[in-house]
Amino acid sequence: MLHNLAQLPRYRGLIQSLVARELKARYRGSVLGFFWSFINPLLLLLVYTFIFAFVMPAPKGTDPYPLFMFCGLLPWTWFASSLMESSGVLISGGNLIKKVLFPAEVLPIVTVSANMVHFVLALPILVFFLVWYRAPLTFAELACFPLVVAVQFLFTLGCALILSALTVHFRDIRDILSNILTLWFFATPIIYSYQFAPALARRFMNLNPFAHIAISYQEILFFPGPFGHWKWLAALGVVSIVWFLAGYWVFDRLRDTFAEEV
Amino acid sequence: MNSSSSGARPAIEVARVIKVYRRFSHRKQFATLKSALLSRSLIKNLKPDETFTALNDVSLTVPKGRTLGVIGRNGSGKSTLLKLVAGITKPSSGTVKVDGRISALIELGAGFHPEISGRENVFINGIMLGLTKREVAQRFDEIVDFAEMQEFIDAPVKTYSSGMYMRLGFAVAIHVDPDVLLVDEVLAVGDEGFTHKCLDKFAEFKRRGKTILLVTHSLGMVERFCDEALWLDGGRIKGSGDPKRIVGAYVTDVQRKEEDELAAADARAREGADTAVVSPDQPASAVLPDDPTETAAGEGDMFRAAEGRWGSREVEITQVDFHGPDGQPGHVFQSGSRVEVRIHIRAPLPVDDFVVGIGIFNADGTCCYGTNTYIEELAPESLAGDVEATFTIDALDLVEGTYKVDVAVHKIDGYPYDYHRLLHTFRVKSRVKDVGIYRPRHAWRFSGDVRFKDAQPPLSPTPRDRQS
């Protein structure tokens, strides 16, 4: 496993070009092209804003609501689409695994990376909202932003490796996954604020890795005051490294079965 | 395999490899994660119920710079062997060692993405096959030229014809400049011209001392192109060594199998005809048309390609068999060889009105030849007891194919004693794939400045006797 892991940097070029291909291919033939990376989250945001402005009262402590939501929604979209796509990525890339000598772990890595690029492409909208609402930003807090992204990347990659490998053997994972992700979304403080959740719910939320990622984004970008959640984030960073290694281990164990099963 | 090149490490070394594929038959039915979790058999379920041994104790060594051709029937493990050498699958036991960069022409253009242009796909495919971006850029023009794709290289790959797709895939794979090239039956790419280009490229590879492992059904290619041949049968090595010898042995074996199949089919056809028309205990006359008009109807059947047997059995054909040039009975013959049809006839009571006839039909039902003793002005006098009629064909000048034979004994007016309609089968093999019904003895002669490459197979039929 360690040997294979050490090979990973060698596939940099391959991963880069595959991510580029993924992005190009996705918008090939559509009129707006890359703009969809902006428009999609924007439209989703409009839906939620409409609901919480006109249908339901916005949760406490989340004003201005669009900015609050955006801080959690963008990372969530990256996370959720990475998992959904990576669960099928070995099967759809079966031709490569069966017919070409190809390092299979490149495929989930490409999926997570391509979705990260979408996340990055949507950031200008977030910046726009930050400026629009005159969010209380400090430089020290912003410096932590890449760290959160890195932690999320590792954590997502660990999930993606496990999911992609297991889905080869159990195709039902894809169906279960969409439901789990819906539940997970509502269990994470994205459309509501962690601070104002009931104490019991907060205790459960502390067990939810993605809650800490979302809270970190919100503290850095939305809430005034220092980044108080950093201890949790540091702990999650360590957990994510372990989780990534565990994911890679599972993937590596099942590697030899891919060519025969997909 | 004689690893003659001493000292140097072999390019490919496969040692006692066993490859077992697992079949998950029962899991396919119930397999869900949920049921696996519920029955707590997640681990158990990952174990196979049934196994299939694709390769069984295969060892081979290919020295550097040699070309090895792998032949064998479908399902004999050829492609599995190639995938193992390529490293795509791992052996269940044993070791596979390959020295140098591999390029596997197993499925061409396997990594192409349909939505993006040929240009971008060439880059990505090249990188997938182990080149760096710069290396692809250096070879890009050469690749496009080789694939003859200059006009379409910027169009999305989904708009390509299958030939273009394969050509581009081939061009990329071949320009990876591997030390070891693995080829799986991919020469059926594009038109004649392109195939020749591929062959030239292979020849160039050989000249440059690269190692090639070729899996193919084209025996001619193995004979012409390979230094050594390996014959796989049911996952085991059945023979290896000189390509001509191995191909010869393989062809003989294929013929023997065909022979057995034909013999079995023949027996089935006769059995079917016997039980369908006349069951043995029934008096023949009860079923048979005594009425001449019905006989005529029977003769009308001649032109319907239905197998059958009819006749009064006053005279009976007890057995029909074919004998090859060596006098041995058989069903598969080389075109142009001497063949005897031996017809065993039994007449319990002597008859003085009889005609023995034979007809040969090809797969379309076209009568290739038909004759009988009456047409050939042999006036019948008497036939009694057990006799054998031998119909000798000096040279079976038919093109390759399966032929069915009618054999009959009847009266001069057509009243059938015993009529075997398409009940006997033989097959003609030929090294030359000419077409038609009849192959006249022929030769090509040219005057003036006409030359042919040595590599071309001889056009004049040189029937090689595989049976000896």
User: Could you give phi then psi for residue B466, rounded to 5 degrees?
Assistant: -85, -15
**A259: chain B residues, CB-CB within 8 Å:** 83, 88-89
pLDDT value at A246 more than 90: yes
Option in A29, A170, A259 nearest B88 (CB): A259
Radius of gyration of chain B (CA): 30
Tokens 């009266």 locate to B411
Q: How far does the CA of residue B460 sit from the closest CA of chain A (Å)?
A: 41
Model pLDDT, residue B356: 93
Question: What confidence tier does A36 reach under pLDDT thresholds 50, 70, 90?
Answer: confident
Question: What confidence tier does B454 reach under pLDDT thresholds 50, 70, 90?
Answer: low
Which structural domains are found in chain B, ordered by start? 12-251 (3.40.50.300), 297-429 (2.70.50.60)
Question: What confidence tier does B408 reach under pLDDT thresholds 50, 70, 90?
Answer: very high
- Is the Cβ of A172 closer than 8 Å to some Cβ of chain B? yes
Question: What confidence tier does B278 reach under pLDDT thresholds 50, 70, 90?
Answer: very low
Model pLDDT, residue B32: 57
Q: How far does the CA of residue B130 sit from the closest CA of chain A (Å)?
A: 9
At B58-91, the pLDDT tens digits run 999 999 989 999 999 888 888 889 989 988 888 9
Minimum CA–CA partner of B106 in chain A? A99
Model pLDDT, residue B38: 58
Percent of chain B past pLDDT 70, that is, above it, reads: 81
Model pLDDT, residue B344: 93
Which of the listed ranges A81-90, A91-100, B425-434 does the model predict with the highest average pLDDT? A81-90
Domain ranges, ordered by start, for chain A: 7-261
Q: Of A109, A143, A42, A62, give the one whose Cα is nearest residue A244.
A: A109
> How far from A257 is each of B21, B40, B91, CA to CA, in Å?
10, 21, 12
- Angle at alpha carbon of residue A63, lines to A59 and A69, rounded to 5°: 70
Option in A14, A176, A259 nearest B128 (CB): A14
Contact flag B132-A13 (C-beta cutoff 8 Å): yes
pTM of the entire predicted model: 0.71
Q: Of B364, B462, B441, give the one whose Cα is nearest residue B397.
A: B441
Average pLDDT over residues A3-32: 84
pLDDT value at B305 more than 70: no
Q: How far does the CA of residue A91 sit from the closest CA of chain B (Å)?
A: 13
Q: Distance between CA atoms of B138 and B73, rounded to whole angstroms?
A: 41
At B25-52, the pLDDT tens digits run 544 444 555 555 555 555 555 555 577 8
Contact flag B33-A170 (C-beta cutoff 8 Å): yes
Model pLDDT, residue A158: 96
Q: How far does the CA of residue B191 sit from the closest CA of chain A (Å)?
A: 24
Model pLDDT, residue A235: 94
Q: How far does the CA of residue A140 sit from the closest CA of chain B (Å)?
A: 39
Which of the listed ranges A186-190, B224-228, B279-283 does the model predict with the highest average pLDDT? A186-190
Ramachandran sector of residue B77 (left: φ over 0; alpha: ψ -120 to 50; beta: rest): left
Percent of chain B past pLDDT 90, that is, above it, reads: 25
pLDDT value at B297 more than 70: no
Model pLDDT, residue B40: 53
Contact flag A170-B31 (C-beta cutoff 8 Å): yes
E-assigned strand segments in B331-468: 332-334, 339-351, 355-361, 367-372, 383-393, 401-410, 416-429
Q: Distance between CA atoms of A181 and A165, rounded to whole angstroms?
A: 18
Q: Of B9, B86, B20, B87, give the one whose Cα is nearest residue B57.
A: B20
- Angle at alpha carbon of residue B102, lines to A260 and A262, rounded to 5°: 15
Q: Distance between CA atoms of A108 and A50, rounded to whole angstroms?
A: 35
At B351-402, the pLDDT tens digits run 999 999 999 998 888 888 999 999 999 999 999 999 999 999 999 999 888 8
- Is the Cβ of A9 closer than 8 Å to some Cβ of chain B? no
Contact flag A25-B113 (C-beta cutoff 8 Å): yes
Model pLDDT, residue B299: 41
Across A91-95, A120-124, B287-291, B309-313, least confident range: B287-291
Model pLDDT, residue B218: 82
Q: How far does the CA of residue A65 sit from the closest CA of chain B (Å)?
A: 39
**A14: chain B residues, CB-CB within 8 Å:** 127-128
Question: What confidence tier does B110 reach under pLDDT thresholds 50, 70, 90?
Answer: confident
Minimum CA–CA partner of B104 in chain A? A100
Contact flag B33-A172 (C-beta cutoff 8 Å): yes
Model pLDDT, residue B102: 85
In this predicted complex, what is the ipTM? 0.79
Average pLDDT over residues B311-331: 89
pLDDT value at B464 more than 50: no
Contact flag B21-A14 (C-beta cutoff 8 Å): no
pLDDT value at B288 more than 60: no
pLDDT value at B420 more than 50: yes
At A142-182, the pLDDT tens digits run 888 999 999 999 999 999 999 999 999 888 898 899 999 99
Contact between B251 and B243 (Cβ < 8 Å): no
Contact flag B128-A173 (C-beta cutoff 8 Å): no
pLDDT value at A120 more than 80: yes
Model pLDDT, residue B187: 63
Q: Residue B80 is encoded by which pair of tokens?
A: 């599995």
Q: Distance between CA atoms of B156 and B310, rounded to whole angstroms?
A: 65
Model pLDDT, residue B273: 64
- Which contacts (CB < 8 Å, 24+ apart) does range A224-227 have? A224/A136, A226/A138, A226/A140, A226/A141, A227/A140, A227/A141, A227/A144
Model pLDDT, residue B294: 37
pLDDT value at B9 more than 50: yes
Q: Which residue has the higher pLDDT, A134 or B416?
A: B416
For chains A and B, count residue pairs whose Cβ atoms are closer than 8 Å: 72
pLDDT value at A111 more than 90: yes
pLDDT value at B246 more than 80: yes
Q: Name the pairing type of β-strands B383-393 and B211-215.
A: unpaired
pLDDT value at B137 more than 80: yes
Q: Of B66, B54, B53, give the one whose Cα is nearest residue B12.
A: B66
Model pLDDT, residue B390: 93
- Is the Cβ of B182 closer than 8 Å to some Cβ of chain A? no
